[in-house]
Structure 1
């Protein structure tokens, strides 16, 4: 079974308190799905070609289906609600090779 990944680039980031609240809720929600954070907020980013230097997060799941289910879960929806309108992200769920 192929793994699933969340690849998230933050175009704009809300205030620190909002991000901390979201992070705590998201980690708790994703823990239920066996998620592993491969690239954490604050990791170094080198943008090349048409890339933009943006905070980037990569989360790994045991399967693509689990990655989809995690995003659709009620607990993760609570984390999303905590982000509010102060955050703009490019969020992708992708299947591993």
Structure 2
């Protein structure tokens, strides 16, 4: 079974308080789905295609777990808290077969 990943590139952050509230609310549903942070980098080296303020990569035991965490009501509450506090590029991707 392949692992699943959330890859999130924050293009801009307009409200740090909203981002902090999001992070606090997002942690429990991520951890409940078996997710763990692999990357949290506030100073990414952008080589192509624009500006980033933050890059986050979360690993899940499976692509299904990654999808279920995103679709959970608890994660939806974290997105509501984030609101317009940041502009992000959010991807759910499947890892290579193991």
TM-score for the superposition, normalised by structure 2: 0.89
Q: Within 2, Cα distance between the matches of 1:95 and 1:24?
A: 25
Among 38, 41, 50, the alignment partner of 1:52 is: 50
Number of equivalenced pairs: 95
* Cα drift, residue 11 of structure 1: 1.2
Q: Deviations over 1:52-87 (max 9, x none)?
A: 341110000000011001000000000000011231
Structure 2, unaligned stretches of length 5 or more?
none
Is 2:16–2:85's contact at 8 Å kept on the other side of the alignment?
no
Q: Deviations over 1:38-65 (max 9, x none)?
A: 01152x31111x2334111000000001
Structure 1 segment 43-82 matched on structure 2, within 5 A? 44-48=43-47, 50-54=48-52, 55-82=54-81
TM-score for the superposition, normalised by structure 1: 0.90
CA RMSD of aligned residues (A): 1.2
In the other structure, the counterpart of 1:30 is 30
Q: Within 1, Cα distance between the matches of 2:21 and 2:87?
A: 16
Is 1:8–1:56's contact at 8 Å kept on the other side of the alignment?
yes
